A = this chain, B = another copy of it.
Amino acid sequence: MSAKQAIMLLSGGLDSATTLALAKKEGFDCFALSFRYGQRHSREIESAKKVAAAASVLGHRIVDIDLAQFGGSALTDSAIDVPKDRAGLENESAIPLTYVPARNTVFLSYALAWAEVLGVFDIFIGVNSTDYSGYPDCRAEFIAAFEKMANLATAAAVEGKGKYKIRTPIIEMTKAEIIKAGTAAGVDYSLTHSCYDPDEKGRSCGRCDSCRLRLRGFAQAGLKDPIEYV
């Protein structure tokens, strides 16, 4: 019996590594898709390669995209500092400076293009709205709207060859639940990278929102984070 096939958006972070493992557990063989989008933490890409290799994906494409030229985010614009030691992590009213305009929209659009060429109709993305950092494009209502649009945008869907499904297995999990589920599914978290602002040696800062969410998740899961911090 041949496995189902899917596209997996793989950042190299903890969430997408877990999502990939859960997709495999659901019986999907995955094509991994990563992006160099001018992010400061390009170490992510090296992690994505390792995670993809460890999961024996069917293929891994790394696409260069040009979001940095638009600016507007601390992740892509060197004129904006990455926020550290924010007082709170959740339920902040303001969307943080690390928000990259329309990032998941752009990423999913590329995934859709590749899916259509491959004849694949399932796209996995490791978005998470529970322990999220305030990003609007990590919410279920955004994902549902994208899926609807995808099924109107593409020849494959319009000709009735299939129906696109954007799959988000971790969207309602807490970070601790994600780490537990991934650990049970065999994810090696030492391969992953989360920090928005690593040092020259690639060590995580431990103080940006992403590090703090990660560290708190491991603590709440009762597990030790295997990566190196400054």
Contacts and interface: CB of A to CB of B under 8 A. Distances in A.
Interface in A95-124: 95, 99-106, 109-110, 112-114, 116-117
Given A66-B65, A145-B145, A154 B101 contact: yes
Interface stretch (A21-29, A67-75, A190-198): A67-75
Interface string A168-192: 0000000000000000000000000
Contact of A153 (B63, B69, B136): B136
Contacts of A99: 155
**Copies, count:** 2
Contacts of A154: 101-102, 105, 136-137
A139 B71 CA distance: 31
A200 interface: no
A158 interface: yes
A159 B92 CA distance: 12
Q: Chain A: interface residue count, which band?
A: 35 or more
A54 B86 CA distance: 48
Contacts of A105: 109, 112-113, 149-150, 153-154
A227 interface: no
A61 interface: yes
A70 B145 contact: no
Contact of A63 (B69, B102, B149, B152): B69
Given A70-B114, A105-B154, A146-B153, 14 more contacts: A61-B69, A66-B110, A101-B112, A101-B113, A101-B116, A105-B150, A106-B110, A136-B158, A137-B154, A145-B145, A145-B152, A145-B153, A146-B149, A148-B149
7 contacts: A95-B158, A103-B113, A105-B113, A105-B150, A109-B109, A142-B149, A142-B153
